[in-house]
Amino acid sequence: MSQVAIKDALSGRIEAGTTVTIKGWVRTRRDSKAGLSFVNVSDGSCFDPIQVVAPAELANYDSEVRHLTSGCSVSATGTLVPSQGKGQAFELQAAAIEVLGWVDDPETYPIQPKPHSMEFLREVAHLRVRTNTFGAVTRIRHCIAQAIHRFFSERGFYWVNTPIITTSDAEGAGQMFRVSTLDLANLPRDEKGRIDFREDFFGREAFLTVSGQLNVEAYCLAMSKVYTFGPTFRAENSNTTRHLAEFWMVEPEIAFADLDDDANLAEAFLKYIFKAVLDERGDDMAFFADKIEKTAIRRLESFIASPFERIDYTDAVDILAKAPRKFDFPVAWGADLQTEHERYLTEEHVGRPVVVTNYPEHIKSFYMRLNEDGRTVAAMDVLAPGIGEIIGGSQREERLDVLDARMKQFGLDASHYEWYRDLRRYGTVPHAGFGLGFERLVVYICGLGNIRDAIPYPRAPGSAEF
Ligand code: 4AD
């Protein structure tokens, strides 16, 4: 047999005694007094490295094998044998080890075989994936992304690629990064300080998208069930452990559907993803439960087993007002719920995931459907124990006159949303959708303390290296 992934070499599916080649990067090397060395090699295919046993008889044993350090790349060929050590079924008895790449200065190689702080690892984002933690995060991210596509595809949703560059502010919150080829500093401005963007690349002011929702709504109103899943950008100056300037978002949109259908979809979706992670990435989840967040596995299992509770925003405010404890932020009808309120509701009040519905209209986005009471919109936030809000969604305003009034109320220029208004003019139907921040989900699943560790190359205020 020729080259195999380390996950296959360790799986027990290859018969003991088979000759294989593995290729990867050295994690550790230990020399025994008996005149042989144990070299742990990882190739990223699974959590565990493989132990390569290198006997002194190897032609390059003294000249090379005994000089291997963390980070060197090697190719090792030998026989798979049952391991004597505990915790691993197989090891490789090497007949040949070829060094593919040396580490030129082992003393200064940043990823030493010892614990490193997450802060330090953020400074070497291009190398941190060589650690246990970031290898595991990378595999879990992949697993979640695949499960997302599978979930929607199995239910008849089409994946729609919405644009990254856009001219409309999907959230109406003015947190967009401008895309321009003009030398903005030296351009003439009118008496109100405005620049004429007609000379710009797109013939008007353009930005990086904050959400694919408006575009995916258009596709929903022809394809019935769709979702967009891609990068989104927010220029909010939030230097927190929960905010990124560039993050991925999953946004499904369903036609002929109301807020109830939306909440049902969100519940089925989250449970499907969590189950996929537990089924497929037991090795990485066991590591997170051991080293990062001891409830990591238990809380996903209990999430899967719990029916979501639905609470109307107005009732939630009552519950919070009567709570037997003080909050840092006062609770009052009309104010948005803070993380401490959300966590109280989900962790202490009900003890399982909660969907809060029907928020005051003035604290939510212009596209959310105005309820009959005229004071609330058909919006929902899904709250999860241990984190608070994880999904935000709504039924969309499908009535053109109400949408126009809402855009006016929010100070939005209807001329920027003509195509979006068309959707209400040509065969409008009730429809609903939600958005899930992909990295917030990764943080929750892995039990990470900071969202900057949930994406390979985090972008945040003052931080765009690598
Ligand atoms: O609540 P948001 O702003 O909703 C929307 O963008 C809607 N268009 C979604 C929809 O209905 N289709 O953002 C959705 C989710 C939030 O729940 C949060 O998880 C995540 O996106 N999110 C962020 N994640 C990381 N960094 C940030 N700066 C984020 N801002 C929002």
Cα(175) to centroid(ligand 1), Å: 12
Tell me what ipTM this predicted complex has: 0.99
Q: What is the full DSSP assignment across 224-265?
A: SEEEEEEEEE------SSS--SEEEEEEEEEES--HHHHHHH
- Which pLDDT band holds residue 396 (cuts at 50, 70, 90)? very high
* Most ligand 1 atoms within 8 A of CB, residue of 232, 244, 247, 444 to mutate: 247
Sheet architecture: strand order including 178-179: 165-166, 206-208, 178-179
- Which pLDDT band holds residue 453 (cuts at 50, 70, 90)? very high
Q: Which residue's CA lies nearest to atom 11 of ligand 1?
A: 434
For the cut 60, the answer to whether the pLDDT of residue 437 exceeds it is yes
CATH fold match for the domains 6-101 and 132-173+210-453: no
Q: CA dist 341 to 316, 323, 326, 356, 385, Å?
A: 9, 10, 10, 11, 12
Q: What is the pLDDT of residue 1?
A: 56
In CATH, which of 3.30.60.50, 3.40.50.1980, 3.40.50.1970, 3.30.930.10 is domain 132-173+210-453? 3.30.930.10
Secondary element (H or E) of residue 273: helix 259-280
Domain ranges of the chain: 6-101, 132-173+210-453
Between 367 and 83, the higher pLDDT residue: 367
Cα(232) to centroid(ligand 1), Å: 9
Does ligand 1 lie within 6 Å of residue 211's CB atom? yes
* Most ligand 1 atoms within 8 A of CB, residue of 157, 176, 211 to mutate: 211
Nearest-atom number in ligand 1 for the CA of 173 is: 3
Q: What is the pLDDT of residue 415?
A: 86
Nearest C-alpha neighbor of 93 from the set 13, 2, 20: 20
Q: Whole-number mean pLDDT of the chain? A: 95
Q: What is the pLDDT of residue 38?
A: 97
Which tokens is 366 given?
């212009």
What's the fold here for domain 6-101? OB fold (Dihydrolipoamide Acetyltransferase, E2P) (2.40.50)
Cα(219) to centroid(ligand 1), Å: 20
Give the pLDDT confidence of 66-120 residue by residue, as tens digits. 999 999 999 999 999 998 877 778 999 999 999 999 999 999 999 998 999 999 9
Does ligand 1 lie within 6 Å of residue 166's CB atom? no
Give the pLDDT confidence of 105-158 residue by residue, as tens digits. 999 999 998 999 999 999 999 999 999 999 999 999 999 999 999 999 999 999
Does ligand 1 lie within 6 Å of residue 169's CB atom? no
Residues 3-32 have a mean pLDDT of 96
Residues 412-416 have a mean pLDDT of 87
Q: What is the pLDDT of residue 168?
A: 83
Q: What is the pLDDT of residue 144?
A: 98
- Which pLDDT band holds residue 349 (cuts at 50, 70, 90)? very high
Residues 29-40 have a mean pLDDT of 95
Cα(214) to centroid(ligand 1), Å: 14
